[in-house]
Structure formats: structure tokens, C-alpha cells
Amino acid sequence: MVTEPSDASVRDRAAAATSPASHGALLQLIRARSGATRQQLLAATGMSRTTLFERLDGLFQHGLIYQAGLAPNGGSRSAPGRPSEILRWDDRGRVVLVLDLGQTHARICVTTVRGQVLRMRELAVSIDVDAETYLAQAHEIGRILLTAGTDETLVGVGVGIPGPVNSRTGVLGRSTTMPQWQHYPLLERERQHWNVDVVIDNDARAFAFGEASVAGPHDTLLAVKFATGIGAGLVSAGHLLEGSDGTAGDIGHVRLSVDGPPCTCGRHGCLAAWASGAALLRQLAPVGVHQLDDIVARVAAGDAEVVAAIDQAVERLAGVLAPVVAAVNPDTLVLGGKLGRLPRVVAGLDALIRDDVSERAREHLVVSVGRLGSDGAMVGLSQRVVDLAFAPGAIDAQIAAAPAS
């Protein structure tokens, strides 16, 4: 069980030099399967029987695998007349704490290591406050949720934030949505507080990673979160694009005009200033629209003024997304967030983007609402935590540091 935090990044830990015959590499192979016999592992790894059994003994002694019964009749046998034992990754009772922090709401939950939400609470709070004050509330809810479980072990914490962050270093970028967090050592403080591995990422990228986990393993997926703000994430063949300093996907600050409305970034005419949920709330306040749920309800009711505002926002968003679609040629464009999940928004973006890109770029493109609904970012953060905590290099380091007796 990985309990000690590490200063290595997700990417560094996952890519740490490790032998293909190491404990960590073998666990990764077992994790990728629903169950495997020793004979199947011998065939898959090419290890000698002695080496394989030594590695398996280490994984057993550290509680990382368990025997899950016998292979069905007719399966491979480890010895003449003896049915083979099925070995599985021991994920029983292991959980992840996820803090999905939005601009106006937070969702705090405990998940299994496979991303299933076990317990969750929502907190209505603006993130534009002092970080210590905000996190004190989130931590208390997290503590309550964790203590409500029985026979559970926390393997890590995932934190999603509505701003730029370099997930390799945990350094927060300059954010207009959470300026009071600018120099706050979030990664270090979370590690100190929980004493486990911690992953911090932008909420839209976390949403993309979650949706990619239920898409084809070789797909290229572009995900867009359209809510109070606008952000995007790109995953190709399981790899999340982070960019050089953590701002990949920050499409809300693409400038559409030099003389547009003022943006929170200090410029004028950015996509977020024209088309974000926050921009729409300012625009529609005179007609009694005060929160995103009001927009959702008014669109469903066919309110002409609100529908016109949404359509104009969708047109501007499509103008930014079409070049991205042309450049990366995704299999799927997945939409999330309260506004992104509106059927009118999905249909409008689909039609407008297809009008603006070449036939080849749109031939296999599917534009849809996220399959995980509002849980996409939580699932993505949970899976990133598990990938970090159980990376081959991390497992090898754990076993080397504390050999079982």
C-alpha cells in the first residue's frame, strides 16, 4: 500500500526507469487484466518460473495482489491435475478522496480505485477566497466522508481546480478565477495534510481524462467544459496533453476581438468575456437570470431572449473549437458542464463545427454529451491518483524501501 508522498510528478513516477521484470511492471500487467494465472503471466512476461514466483511473493507480502479462486475448468493448469489459481490486483477497500473545486461549487467525494463514487457531498462556495479558509471546509467534509467508510485505506487525493496548473510540479498558474491562491503551495499542503500521494489538475483536463477512461483506448478525445467558465482537455491514446506549463486547454482566453467586453484576465474580447456562463449571467441579469440553473430552465422553456444569448455563445465557442478540431482530428468531442450538456448546445456546436472544418476532419467526428455526466472530472482525478500511486516505479520503490519480512 502506497502511503508516503513523493516529490516526483505523475509523469516522472509513471515513467520511472523500471525493469520489465520488476514487481511494479508485473503488478501493472495484473492490474490491466481481470485476472491471470501464473501460467498466463509466465507466457505474457517471458520470465523464468523462479523470477516470476519471487516477484509474486513480494506482491503478495505487500498486500498488492490476492488469490481470487481457481480458473474455470479447462483453463491452463500450474501442475498436472491441479487447477490454476487466478491472481488479481488487490483493490479491495482502497479508496481515493477527490476534491473537485469549481468556481462557485465544490464536489467532494470518496471513490473506489476504479472510479466508482461511494460517498459525495456538494458545497456551495466561491473559490475566490483565501485558500486556507476554503480548504478548511473541504478538508472537514473530506474527513467526514472518509471516516464514514469501513475497512478502507486511502491511497491518494485528487484535486481539480478551475484554473491553470502544472500537474507535473503542482505549481498554480496565474488565474483570474482564483487570484488569492496565486502563491499558495497547494500540492505541498495537501500532501502534508493527508500524508498520501496527491494529484492536482485543471478541472476541464480532469473531465477529459475521466471521459477518455470510458472511451476507446486508442481514441483521440477533445473535451470541453462549458459552465461558469470555459475550458478544454485533450487525451490521445490515453495520454493527457498538459502543455509546457499547465495551460493546455485554456481556450477561454482566446481573444476574439480587441474591442469586446473586458475579461477577467485584463484584456478585452476573450471567449470567456463573450460566451462563458459568467458572461451570460451578466448579460441576462436584467431579465431575471441569476444562476446557471436559470439559464438551463429558460432554454428548456423556450425563452426567446435566453435562447438567443445561448445560440450566440455557441457560435463564438464553435469559432474557437473548429480550428482545434481541424488541428487534432479527434474521434470525439465531448461536452460537459451545466451549459455544455444542454441538447441545444450540443446540436449547435455539432452543426457549426462541421460547417467550418474539412470533410476529412469531420468524417468520423462524434459530438456528444459526456458519458459520465457530472462525474467526469471526479473519475478522471481518481484515475490519475491511482496511476500515480501504483505506477511501476512507485511500486518498485515501495518494495525496495520496505522489503517484506
pLDDT at 15: 44
* Dihedral sign for Cα atoms in the order 360, 363, 369, 375: negative
- Short-list 399, 256, 390, CA closest to 323: 256
pLDDT at 82: 56
pLDDT at 12: 46
Burial of 148 by CB count in 10 Å (0-12 exposed, 13-18 middle, 19+ buried)?
Answer: exposed
Identify the helix (H) or strand (E) that includes residue 262. none
CB-based contacts of 7, cutoff 8 Å, min separation 6: none
pLDDT at 47: 93
Question: Long-range contacts for 266-273 (Cβ within 8 Å, ≥24 apart)?
Answer: 266/176, 271/230, 271/316, 271/317, 271/320, 272/229, 272/230
Tell the residue number behind the cell numbers 488469490, with chain if given: 67
List the grid coordinates of 83: 487447477
- pLDDT 10s per residue in the chain (405 long)? 333 344 444 444 444 445 778 999 999 999 988 889 999 999 999 999 999 999 999 999 999 999 988 887 644 555 555 568 999 999 999 999 999 998 888 999 999 999 999 999 999 999 989 999 999 999 999 999 999 999 999 999 999 998 888 877 778 877 778 888 988 899 999 999 999 999 999 999 999 999 999 998 889 999 999 999 999 999 999 899 988 877 889 999 999 998 899 988 889 999 999 999 999 999 999 999 999 999 999 999 999 999 999 999 999 999 999 999 999 999 999 999 999 999 999 999 999 999 999 999 999 999 999 999 989 999 999 999 999 999 999 999 999 987 655
Question: Taking the model in full, what pTM does it have?
Answer: 0.86
Domains of the chain: 10-91+389-401 (1.10.10.10), 94-207+381-387 (3.30.420.40), 216-370 (3.30.420.40)
pLDDT at 84: 85
